[in-house]
Amino acid sequence: MASGKARSKQRSSGSSYTSTATTIVFVALCVLGVWMLTSNSVIPPQTTSRTTTTSDESTSAATADFSSANKNSQPIELTDKKISEAFEDNPGQLPDEAIKSDDTTQLKETNGNENPTQLKETNDNERSQMEHEIHVAESNNQESEKDSRDESKNDEESVPRKPGSGVEENPQGLQGKVSVEEQEKQKEHENQVSEESSLSQNQQEERRMNNQESNQKQQIQEEMQMNDQRKKQEEAQKQEHHQQKGQHGLEEGTSHDQIEHDEAVPLLSSNKNDNHRSQAKPSPRRTKTGSSETQNSNDQHESHSKIDNKKEEKPTQLNPDGSLLGGESSGIPKESKESKKSWSTQADQSENQKERRKNGPDDQDGSIYGYTWQLCNVTAGTDYIPCLDNEKALKKLRTTRHFEHRERHCPEEAPTCLVPPPDGYKRPIEWPTSRDKIWYHNVPHTKLAEVKGHQNWVKVSGEFLTFPGGGTQFIHGALHYIDFIEEAVPDIAWGKRTRVILDVGCGVASFGGFLFERDVLAMSLAPKDEHEAQVQFALERGIPAISAVMGSQRLPFPSRVFDIVHCARCRVPWHEEGGRLLLELNRVLRPGGFFVWSATPVYQTLEEDVEIWKEMSALTKSMCWELVTIKKDKLNSVGAAIYHKPTSNECYDQRKQNATPMCKSDDDPNAAWYVALQSCMHRVPEGEVERGSRWPQNWPQRLQTPPYWLNKSQMGIYGKPAPDDFARDSEHWGRMVSKTYLSGLGISWDNVRNVMDMRAVYGGFAAALKDLKVWVMNVVNIDSPDTLPIIYERGLFGIYHDWCESFSTYPRSYDLLHADHLFSKLKKRCKIEPVMAEIDRIVRPGGKLIVRDESSTIGEVENLLKSLHWEVHLTFSKNQEGILSAQKSEWRPDSYAARP
């Protein structure tokens, strides 16, 4: 009304013109003030203060709730020491801190924020929900205030922003952006400014509060919808993951925890008592030291506040950078399908390969925990080797002239029975003490002690069998004999130029046992014959050895791989049948290598010895072997003839009489699996990039050096150029063994001596164990790429084998078996049960098994091991890849199987 009167006076009197102008300016300022109040939700200082307080209180409440819920179960970070103490050879009940929580919440980072704020959600708690909504609304108001201040400073933006617009931060660390509808509503809101100028100040304030409350509710509702969608997506992913896990055939209550990164020591989970897991207490994942790792540990403490104690475990979620075991991201190579075109296999090479059974995968339902095992009912008893003690097959042999009865004759159906230990069996004595004595009851055979005792082979000393270190040709000890050979030919250079040798007719393998002091590996070989248990003695002592014979078939080794072949009174008739057996040694001997023959024809003048010497001299000359020296050992009253294999074909081409013919060009010298012996010689490789054309580097440089004949034009097993593949494999196994195998698998390596890698590729696993007092038998499967020459080239050794058959070794031979992705490939060709029975046969009581494979296969192996009463130390799985560690118990069944 006052303004109306002023305007009326203004029309009638010019003297009040100045007063009217002043009034108009005042009204304009009021309108501008109202517009600013309605368009900018300026938050009073006390509101900002209350927001901070609420947030702090909420965080404190969450922390308090978590501390209260876990008062008696504080998470403990596992150290190497605790893991070692918790898991010895007989671990018993595992501690709670070794059980990983089954409901770890995965932390997510906000946009560029390394430490996102997380609030604890309390189910069915209205007060907490209201605080959450108030916190969101006030956070939106703070964001609006910030946006309005930014707009006032930016001349390019002419349209004011709506309260609550921009990036919003919520307790879950999600980001919310202004939608198109909100922008349209913002424009409508700006059009209403002129109308609001005519309202009273109280009405304008009331409308502003209503609009603000409406916007806040809408934003809260939108945020809740986004959270619901996110939760549904996570639940769907978890459901899909559990469905994949459910196909693994694992028994209820046994789940595979997810695998840590290769460089982190994995947590251990006991399978000895499956029900124990349902009471697992939370335990943080062990991480490296550092600020980010500390924050991860704190965040995991918050995430553990919502633990659901269910009988069925859920796989633990790792951070996104956690790499899976067996996947490319972890540096673990994957075998390339294309590489099969670049590599031959023994199945392809062997002309006379025994036709294999085409048994498909096991058609059982996977639940074989209650599989019934029985003892083997065989004549061989506690020393049963299925492929060497096949009485049914041996009776069908027409002749034994070429020692066919000592060769492999595997049963048509692989046995699934178990071999009992001898009465009074004890855990083997550890190396190096075992080199000198073993428990008598572990190998209760005295024939060698009776026959060879005067030659210091083996003697009975109370409850021990002792080994003075002698042999037929070195009664006064192997070390003197080893030095004697090197003195005769200094170029032998034990442990430098000479690294891998073959000892034929090894006896109790004292020669190979003492060569370890010279950094030399000896593949000791002897048949299972009337000299009972000689190879078994060697293995019990901790010395490499296999049961094999120089008979009618090639030895299971590639060509040109041994630096030296040694024979000390090995009783092999080298000179007979055109030297067929000696020509087999020529096949496996490296060009430039030596043949050391220590036998009576070298130094005795008996008529038989003289005749053998003449025939051997003619044979070796025809083979172009150079007689380097004949050395006499006065201490042992013996002598040794040392021959040198040529490094070129010049001698072969200049021979006047070809008494020993050259092999045909289509005869593959590397074919060795069930291939008959050939009475011929293969030409020496002379090309610069051909294997065998030059000597490897000295030990130990050759261990980590890619062979010179591996060129980048050849694709490696894992799809990279062969030298790069080799280096990648070495790097991976070095990291895996040092970071995980030696400290994180519940294995005590102090009593590990005899090791077998059941599916070696480049020999990286064996190379990674170089500094331990162990030796590794590397097995290359006949259907795998033929990489065994690479293993020998780097100063290691191994053998070809088909795991659908039994291995040529005595029961209780090995302390540890390692199978990397073996069973998933093997079960396509034969059943797993006989393979597990074979593993149980060759592993000593207290021995270990490490399996890396597909998760479903890990489940099958785990159930079979449990049925065999093995103690499963741990199983992990992630992304369909898993790892298992187990230990053999002393359990044996009571009943015997039907006699075959």
Q: Return the pLDDT at 807.
A: 98
Alpha carbon 589 to chain centroid distance?
A: 33
Q: Return the pLDDT at 105.
A: 34
Per-residue DSSP letters for 306-367? S----SS--PPPPPTTPPPTTSGGGT-----SGGGGT---HHHH-TTPPPPP---S--S-S-
Q: In the predicted model, is pLDDT for residue 741 greater than 60?
A: yes
For the segment 534-541, the average pLDDT, to the nearest whole number, is 96
Q: 741 and 599 share a domain? A: no
Within a domain: 76: no
Q: Residue for token digits 């990279």? A: 720
Q: Return the pLDDT at 347.
A: 73
Q: Return the pLDDT at 651.
A: 94
Q: How many domains does the structure of the chain reveal?
A: 2
Angstrom CA distances, 537 to 413, 456, 480, 656, stand at 29, 14, 22, 47
Within a domain: 771: yes
Within a domain: 454: no
Q: Mark which of 620, 654, 688 sits at the end of a domain.
A: 654
Q: Return the pLDDT at 75.
A: 33
Q: What are 362's two structure tokens?
A: 């096991």
Predicted confidence band at 531 (pLDDT cuts at 50, 70, 90)?
confident
Q: In the predicted model, is pLDDT for residue 606 greater than 90?
A: yes
Q: Return the pLDDT at 230.
A: 67
Q: How does the average pLDDT of the chain come out, rounded? A: 75
Predicted confidence band at 28 (pLDDT cuts at 50, 70, 90)?
confident
For the stretch 787-798, pLDDT in tens is 999 999 999 999
Q: In the predicted model, is pLDDT for residue 309 greater than 50?
A: no
Residues, the chain, total? 900
Q: 715 and 607 share a domain? A: no
CATH code for the domain in which residue 508 is found: 3.40.50.150
Q: Return the pLDDT at 219.
A: 64
Long-range Cβ contacts of 343-346 (<8 Å, 24+ apart): 343/717, 343/785, 343/786, 343/787, 344/670, 344/785, 344/786, 345/782, 345/783, 345/784, 345/785, 345/786, 346/671, 346/672, 346/673, 346/780, 346/782, 346/783, 346/786, 346/800
Predicted confidence band at 675 (pLDDT cuts at 50, 70, 90)?
very high
Predicted confidence band at 370 (pLDDT cuts at 50, 70, 90)?
low
Q: In the predicted model, is pLDDT for residue 20 greater than 80?
A: no
Q: 648 and 729 share a domain? A: no
Q: 733 and 864 share a domain? A: yes
Which residues 6+ apart lie within 8 Å of 322 measured at CB?
258, 260, 261, 878
For the segment 700-724, the average pLDDT, to the nearest whole number, is 94
| Residues in a beta bridge with 643 | 595, 627
pTM above 0.75, yes or no: no
- Is the backbone peptide bond immediately before 900 cis, with ω within 30 degrees of 0? no
Q: In the predicted model, is pLDDT for residue 500 greater than 80?
A: yes
For the segment 659-675, the average pLDDT, to the nearest whole number, is 94
Within a domain: 491: yes
Q: β-strands 589-598, 638-644: how paired?
A: antiparallel
For the stretch 192-229, pLDDT in tens is 544 444 444 555 555 566 666 566 556 666 666 666 66
Q: In the predicted model, is pLDDT for residue 470 greater than 50?
A: yes
For the stretch 112-169, pLDDT in tens is 444 434 433 444 444 455 555 555 455 555 555 545 444 444 444 443 443 333 333 3
Predicted confidence band at 739 (pLDDT cuts at 50, 70, 90)?
very high
Predicted confidence band at 703 (pLDDT cuts at 50, 70, 90)?
very high
Within a domain: 694: no
For the stretch 237-278, pLDDT in tens is 656 555 554 444 333 333 333 333 343 333 334 444 443 333
Spatial distance between the Cα atoms of 176 and 170, rounded to a whole number of angstroms: 8
Q: 726 and 643 share a domain? A: no
Buried b (16+ CB within 10 A) or exposed e, 814-852: bbbbbbbbbbbbbbebbbbbbbbbbbbbbbbbbbbbbbb
Q: 707 and 634 share a domain? A: no
| Residues in a beta bridge with 641 | 597, 630
Q: 710 and 645 share a domain? A: no
Q: 642 and 717 share a domain? A: no
Q: What are 878's two structure tokens?
A: 């992630």
Q: Return the pLDDT at 239.
A: 61
Q: 531 and 590 share a domain? A: yes
Q: Return the pLDDT at 376.
A: 97
Within a domain: 820: yes
Q: Return the pLDDT at 183.
A: 55
Q: 736 and 598 share a domain? A: no
Q: Return the pLDDT at 35.
A: 67
Q: 520 and 646 share a domain? A: yes
Within a domain: 478: yes
The segment with the largest mean pLDDT, out of 20-24, 184-188, 612-616, is: 612-616
Q: What are 653's two structure tokens?
A: 């081409």
Per-residue DSSP letters for 489-501? -GGG-BTTTB-EE
Q: Is pLDDT larger for residue 602 or for residue 58?
A: 602
Q: Is pLDDT larger for residue 53 or for residue 341?
A: 341
From start to end of 802-890, where are the E strands? 814-820, 843-854, 871-878, 881-887
Please give the DSSP secondary-structure letter assigned to residue 844.
E
Q: Mark which of 654, 672, 691 sits at the end of a domain.
A: 654
Q: Return the pLDDT at 184.
A: 55
60-69, 178-187, 304-313: least confident range:
304-313
For the stretch 681-702, pLDDT in tens is 999 999 889 999 999 999 999 9
* Of 558, 564, 531, 528, residue with least CA distance to 545: 528
User: Residue 165 CB: number of other CB atoms within 10 A?
Assistant: 22
Q: Mark which of 654, 681, 713 sits at the end of a domain.
A: 654
Where in the sequence is the domain holding 649, given as residue range(s)?
471-654
- Residue 102 phi, psi dihedral angles, 5° rounding: -100, 10
Q: Is pLDDT larger for residue 68 or for residue 418?
A: 418
Which residues 6+ apart lie within 8 Å of 742 measured at CB?
749
Q: Return the pLDDT at 316.
A: 32
For the segment 746-772, the average pLDDT, to the nearest whole number, is 96
Q: 723 and 580 share a domain? A: no
Q: Return the pLDDT at 551.
A: 93
Within a domain: 697: no
For the stretch 804-825, pLDDT in tens is 999 999 999 999 999 999 999 9
